[in-house]
Structure 1
Amino acid sequence: MTAAIKDAVQAVDAAAVMALLAARPRLLALGEPTHGEEALLGLRNELFRQLVEREGYRTITIESDCMMSLVVDDYVTSGAGDLDEVMERGFSHGWGAFAGNRELVRWMRAHNDGRPAPERLRFAGFDGPLEITGAASPRQALTGLHGYLAARVGGGLLPCTAETLDRLLGADEPWTDPAAMMDPSRSVGQAPEARELRLLADDLVALLDAQTPHLIATSSPDEWERARMYGRTATGLLRYHFWFADTSPRRMAWLLGVRDSMMAANLLALAERGPALVSAHNGHLQRDRSSMRLGDLPLEWWSAGAIISARLGAEYAVLATALGTIRHHGVQTPPPDTVEGLLYALPEDRYVVDARRLAAVVGDLAPAPRVSPWYGYSPMDPAHVARYDGIVFVRDAAPS
C-alpha cells in the first residue's frame, strides 16, 4: 500500500502542482490544518515565488482582514510606510508577528522595486474585519463608500449625509464589545440605528451599481475595486452584527455562514484581477460543507471554498495541507490507520500527492479520522480527500 501511494507523490513545487490540474486556475488555494506554523508559511512563500516566476501569478491573498491589508498592499506596490509598522497595522489575527509573513512582505516589496505597475505583485486579505468572537465597527467601510460616492455622484442621489452616518454609527466601542459574544443583549446589531444603517448601506451599494459606467470612467481601477470592497464589507459587517444580537438557536450558524460568504465574495472579486494564490485554513477552502458542534448544538454551513467552487468550477483549485506531527503542541506520530499515518509512512519530509489517486488507493482501507489532542489543529477528514485537487504533506512542523 505504501508503494502504491508513493507512485502518486511528487516534490512540492509549482510544476508538480500544475501537473495535477487541467489548466491554470484563477484561484489556487493552499490550505493549512493549523495557523502560525513557520514550516507551512515557508512552504507557502516558496510556492508563491515559483508561481510568480513560472506561472504568471501576481496576487497572494491570506485569511486576514481585507481592510487592514490595504496597508500591506500599499507597501508592497509603492513602498509606502515602514515594514515594522506595516506588519503591525496591516494584519489581523496577530498574523503580522510571524516571521514567514514578514518575509513574504519583504520579498514582494523587493520584487516590485522598479517594476512597472502591471508587473507588480499585489497583496490582499480576504477575511472580513471580524472573528467568530466579535467584529469591527462598520464605520470605516460605510464612510469609505460614502466618501467615494460623494466625490463622484451628485449629492441629490446620495441616500444620506456623512453627518447622518456618523450620528447613527455613534461610538465604536459598543460595536466591538467583547462581552456580546456570550451575551447577545450587549450587541448593538439590532438597535434601531443599526437597522437604519443596514438600509442605508443597501442603498449606497445599489447606487454604486447603478452608477457603474460613470464611476469606472472617473476612477482608477484600484479606486473602483476598493469602493466595491467597502460596499461588500459594510453590508456584510452589518449583517454579522445583526446576527450577533440574535438570541435564537440559528445565531451561530448564521455567524459562521456570513463570515465564509464574505470571504467568498472577496475571493471572487480578486479572481477578476487575475490568477491568485489563496492561503487560509483548510476548513475555509474545502469544497465540502463545514460542520462543528458547539456544546450540544450541531452546526453546518457552506465554506468559502464550497461557494467559490460552485461559482468558478474548474477555475478554482484547492490543495489541502496535512501534517504528521506538531510535537511542541502535543501532536505526536499519527496512528497508521489515519490518512496522516499512511502519508507519514513515506520517507519524504514534504511532498504533494494527487488527492484523487490517493483516495482510490486508500478507499478500501476506510481510514479512521485522526483525533487531535490540541484544539488548534484540525486533522484531515478522510471523507474529504477525493474532493481536493492535491494534498501537500509536511512530515514534521518544528517549533518556530
Structure 2
Amino acid sequence: MATDITDTGITDTGITDTAHAVDAAAVMGLLPARPRLLALGEPTHGEDTLLDLRNELFRQLVEEEGYRTIAIESDCMRGLAVDDYVTSGTGTLDEVMEHGISHDWGAFAANRELVRWMRAHNARADADGRPASERLRFAGFDGPLEITHAASPRQALTALHGYLAARVDADLLPCTAETLDRLLGADERWADPAAMTDPSRSVGRSAEAGRLRLLADDLVALLDAQTPHLLTATSREGWDRARLYARTATGLLRYHHWMADPSPTRMTRLCALRDQMMADTLLALAERGPVLVHAQNAHLQREKSSMRMWQGPVEWWSAGALASARLGEEYAFVATAVGTIRHRGVDTPPPDTLEGLLYALPEDRCLIDAPRLAAALGETRPAPRVSSWFGYAPLDPAHLAAIDGFVFVKDVPRRNRS
C-alpha cells in the first residue's frame, strides 16, 4: 500500500510499506546479520520516552538475540561503578546513579530503571547458577569530558600505573607514582572551564603535560608488552579495565594538548578526538560480544557529523563512522526521529519534511526501513527540518541511504520527574 503525499509534491512514496512495529525482531530483520555493535541513536537527550524505548529494545535483545552489554553516552571511567553494581551488587542503586553516570543523566527515571532491571536480571542468573558470561554488563563509552571542560587524566593514569606496579617488576616502570602525582599537580588546573574557549588557559602544552604524555605512552607500551604475563597474573576482566585506563589516559592527555591549540581547527580536532575515544572503547567492548550502543545520532551516524560552535561550523567523523569503517556489516545504525517535543517548543513538523511525512502516519511509533524509503523517494528528498530548539537535531534526509533504519516517535510528552 502506498501513501500519496500530494501536499508535499512527493507522490506514491510507498512510505507505509517501509514501516514496521518497533521491536528487536523487526530491527534484526533490516540487517544482513546480527551486528557486534548495534547503535541506537537519539535526536535529543534527556527524554524518558526515548529512553524507555531504548530499555524495551535492550530487554528484547537480551531475551531474544543474546545481547549482554549496553553502552551509553556517559563517562567510561564512572561507568565502571555501575557495571560493578549490576554484575555483583557492589554499592547501592542511589550511589551509582549519582556517581556512576555523567552529564547529570543518572537523575532520569528511565536510566535508573535500566540499571535496576539489569541488577535484578543478574541476581536471578546468579541464583540459577548461570555462568558469569551470561551476566548483563553496563558501560559508559564517552570520555571523561563535558562540553564545558575535560577532566584531569589523574584517575586513569594512576589506575594504569597502579595495575602495572602490582604485577610487573618495578624496574620496568618508567616512573614512580610520586612522579606522576607531582607532574599532574592540582586537578582543578586541568578541568578549568575557561580553557574550553581560551586555549591560553589550558595546561595541555605545559612541560609537565608533555612529560606525562611520554610516560603514558611508555606505560601503555609496557601493558602491551606484558600481556601474556598479565593475563595469567590477573583476570581478563582486570586486563580489559587496564586497557580502558590506558585508552582514557592517553586520550585525555591528547585532548588537553589540543585544547591549548590556538589555531582555527581547534574545535574540529577536539570533536574528532572525543569521538575517536568513543570508537576505541566501543571496539574494545565489541570484542566480548554484541553490544547495544545508545547515544546522540551525530555520534553514531556513518556520514560526517557537523555542529556550529563559537568558532564557527565544525565537521568530524563520528564514533559510529569510525566503528563502521572497522567492522563493516558488523556495525549497524538505527537512528531515532521525532515529530513533536512540545514542552521544548518543537511543534508539529512541516508536512514537506521527513518528520512531517511520517507524522501523517497513524502509528505513535514505527520502525522505518531507511534504504527502502530512500529508494522509494528516488531523487526527491523532503526538505530538511529546522529545529526551533538547539537541543534537538532533526534527521537529515540526505543521510537516509547510510542508515540501516530509524525509529519514528510521533510525540514526546513531558515526563514528570517528581
TM-score tier by shorter-chain length is: over 0.9
Aligned to 1:78: 88
Residues 1:333 and 2:333 aligned together: no
Q: Secondary structure at the match of 1:335?
A: coil
Greater shift, 353-362 or 267-276, is seen at 353-362
Find the aligned partners of 2:313 and 2:54 in 1 and give their Cα distance.
Answer: 33
Q: Does 1:177 align with 2:192?
A: yes
Aligned equivalents of 1:317, 1:120: Cα separation in 2 = 23
Percentage of matched positions with identical amino acids: 74
Q: C-alpha separation between the residues in 1 aligned to 2:309 and 2:135?
A: 44
Please give the alpha-carbon distance, in whole angstroms, between the structure 2 residues aligned to 1:255 and 1:188. Answer: 15
Q: Match for 2:36 among 26, 47, 58?
A: 26
Distance 2:310 2:121 in 1: 48
- Aligned residue for 1:245? 260
Pairing 1:163–2:178 present = yes
Q: What is residue 300 of structure 1 aligned with on the other side?
A: 315
1:100 and 2:115 correspond? no
| Residue 150 of structure 1 pairs with residue 160 of structure 2 | no
Q: Which residue of 2 aligns with 1:370?
A: 385
Say yes or no: does 1:90 pair with 2:100. yes
Are residue 54 (structure 1) and residue 55 (structure 2) matched? no
Q: Does the Cα contact within 8 Å between 1:2 and 1:342 map onto a contact in 2?
A: no
- Which residue type is aligned with residue 86 of structure 2? V
Return the match for 2:279 from 264, 288, 297. 264
SS in 2 for 1:35: coil
Deviation at 1:360, TM superposition (A): 1.3
The aligned residue for residue 10 of structure 2 is none
SS at match of 2:253: helix
Distance 2:278 2:147 in 1: 13
Give the aligned length: 400
User: Alpha-carbon deviation of 1:133?
Assistant: 2.2
TM-score, scaled relative to structure 1: 0.98
Aligned positions of 1:371-386 closer than 5 A: 371-386=386-401
- Match runs of 1:105-120 below 5 Å: 105-115=115-125, 116-120=131-135
- Aligned 8 A contact 2:267 2:311 in 1: no
Aligned counterparts of 1:397 and 1:100: Cα–Cα separation in 2: 14
Alignment of 1:190 onto 2:213: no
| Matched letter for residue 204 of structure 2 | G
Partners in 2 of 1:272 and 1:164 — Cα distance? 34
SS in 2 for 1:173: helix
Q: Does 1:291 align with 2:292?
A: no
Check conservation: 2:49, 2:413, Cα contact below 8 A.
yes
Report if the CA contact (8 A) 2:264-2:311 is conserved.
no
Q: Deviations over 1:81-108 (max 9, x none)?
A: 1111110010000110000000000000
Q: 2:8 matched to 1:6?
A: no
In 1: Cα distance, 2:30 partner to 2:172 partner: 51
Give RMSD over aligned pairs. Answer: 1.0
Deviations 1:187-212 (A, max 9, x none): 11111000100000011001111111
The separation in 1 between residues aligned to 2:236 and 2:23, in whole angstroms, is 32
Shift of 1:131: 2.0
**TM-score of the pair, normalised by structure 2:** 0.94
